[in-house]
């Protein structure tokens, strides 16, 4: 628990607080963390057994235990979004609502760790609170305003990628809104307190905008993310088993979006096209055999 408080102090220091001092709101936070420290963290096996009781029997006591054991996770995530103009206790409260939602929705038989699954819901609720609280989001009170809010940056990026300057008149025509609405939105976005396109944290390319979309299927996002990480690691292990020719063919023909021809591979290694084909078939067989073994728990 001490490391969480240290993180809090460090974050506060960056926001201009007096060194070593916590604002008044952190006194109740300190007491809250002290209370949480009385509850042990669940092992993966305990977590699974408890989650089964919730999933199969709607066991309220089990649900309460799973919630309590993950309240520290909510605090940790809340501190990532804390600033001098956001009350940390409010963020924690919203994160706790996300945690409760995760407990209700979690399916332990899908193989995803609960903390991984819950993190998505905790962040979603915290970010929704931030959006609803800040003046930036108060522009999105109508359906058309919120639609413009979500689409504006994406449309600008499309035009810029084509080498076209995203002038308000062009954006208005493309998005079928008034030019004045575009100009007003751009002004508000320019003075936003946070970039909704910035990464959620250092190890993620996901943005705040990605997290707050209401139609996001969290179960699929978590499952796909975990599958992707596992596959990447296993493919890296597989590469280590290949010799020079096999590795080159694997990377530059089998995995490449623009694969080399057998003739190009043959020329590089001074072998025939047929020999290059034989090596390719051998690598594919190795990969498929290993793939079936390593990933039999997934529905690929």
Give pLDDT tens digits for 219-237: 555 655 666 666 677 788 8
Range picked from 123-132, 140-149, 258-267 for highest mean pLDDT? 258-267
- Residue 29: band (very low, low, confident or very high) from pLDDT cuts 50, 70, 90: confident
Mean pLDDT of 159-170: 76
What is the dihedral sign for C-alpha 282, 283, 289, 292? negative
Q: Please compute the mean of the pLDDT values over residues 92-107 and round it to a whole number.
A: 92
Confidence of residue 141 (pLDDT cuts 50, 70, 90): low
What is the pLDDT, as a whole number, of residue 300? Answer: 41
Q: Supply φ then ψ for residue 184, to 5 degrees.
A: -65, -45
Query: Is residue 120 scored above 70 in pLDDT?
Result: yes
Average pLDDT over residues 243-265: 88
Cβ-based neighbours of 71, under 8 Å, separated by 6 or more: 36, 39, 96, 99
Instruction: Considering the domain delimited by 241-294, tell me its CATH architecture.
Output: Orthogonal Bundle (1.10)
pLDDT (average), residues 30-45: 87
Q: Which of 18-22, 120-124, 151-155 has the least mean pLDDT?
A: 18-22
pLDDT at 7: 45
Please state at what angle helix 2-14 crosses helix 26-36, rounded to 10 degrees: 160
Task: Indicate the pTM of the whole model.
Answer: 0.47
Cα separation, 255 vs 235, whole angstroms: 11
DSSP character at residue 110: G
pLDDT at residue number 229:
66
Please check whether residue 89 is in contact with residue 28, taking contact to mean a CB–CB distance below 8 angstroms: yes
Question: Is the pLDDT assigned to residue 8 strictly greater than 90?
Answer: no
Residue 254: which of 214, 285, 212, 211 has the closest Cα?
285
Q: How confident is the model at residue 195 (pLDDT cuts 50, 70, 90)?
A: very low
| pLDDT top residue among 23 and 194 | 23
Average pLDDT of the chain to the nearest whole number = 75
Q: Determine which of 220-224, 232-236, 244-248, 266-270 has the lowest per-residue pLDDT on average.
A: 220-224
pLDDT of residue 50: 95
Average pLDDT of the segment spanning 18-35: 66
Residues of the chain with pLDDT > 90: what percent?
29
* Lookup result for tokens 């530059």: 252
Average the pLDDT over 122-132 and give the result.
81
Fold of 2-134: 1.20.120
pLDDT band at residue 254, thresholds of 50, 70 and 90? Answer: confident
Residue 265: the pLDDT is: 93
Higher pLDDT, 247 or 181: 247
How confident is the model over 187-202, as a mean pLDDT? Answer: 52
Q: Is the pLDDT confidence value at 88 over 80?
A: yes
How many residues does the structure list for the chain? Answer: 300
CA distance 26 to 22: 6
pLDDT at 142: 58
- CB count, 10 Å around CB of 62? 19
């Amino acid at each position: 628990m001490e490391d969480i408080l240290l993180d809090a102090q460090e974050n506060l220091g960056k926001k201009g607080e007096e060194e070593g001092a916590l604002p008044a709101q952190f006194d109740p936070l300190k007491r809250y963390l002290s209370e949480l420290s009385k509850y042990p963290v669940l092992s993966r096996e305990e977590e699974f057994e408890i989650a089964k009781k919730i999933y199969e029997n709607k066991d309220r006591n089990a649900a309460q235990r799973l919630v309590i054991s993950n309240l520290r996770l909510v605090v940790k995530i809340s501190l990532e979004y804390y600033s001098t103009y956001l009350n940390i206790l409010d963020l924690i409260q919203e994160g706790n609502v996300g945690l409760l939602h995760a407990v209700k929705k979690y399916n332990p038989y899908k193989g995803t760790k609960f903390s991984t699954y819950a993190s998505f819901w905790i962040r979603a609720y915290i970010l929704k609170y931030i959006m609803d609280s800040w003046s930036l989001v108060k522009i999105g009170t109508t359906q058309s305003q919120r639609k413009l809010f979500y689409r504006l940056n994406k449309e600008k990026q499309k035009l810029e990628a084509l080498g076209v300057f995203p002038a308000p008149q062009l954006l208005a025509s493309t998005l079928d809104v008034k030019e004045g609405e575009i100009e007003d939105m751009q002004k508000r976005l320019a003075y936003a307190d946070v970039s909704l396109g910035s990464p959620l944290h250092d190890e993620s390319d996901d943005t705040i905008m990605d997290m707050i979309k209401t139609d996001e299927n969290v179960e699929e996002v978590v499952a796909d993310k975990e599958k992707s990480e596992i596959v990447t690691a296993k493919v890296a292990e597989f590469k280590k088993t290949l010799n020079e020719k096999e590795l080159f063919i694997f990377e530059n023909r089998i995995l490449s979006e623009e694969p080399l021809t057998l003739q190009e591979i043959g020329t590089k290694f001074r072998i025939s096209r047929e020999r290059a084909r034989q090596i390719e078939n051998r690598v594919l067989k190795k990969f498929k055999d290993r793939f079936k073994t390593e990933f039999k728990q997934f529905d690929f």
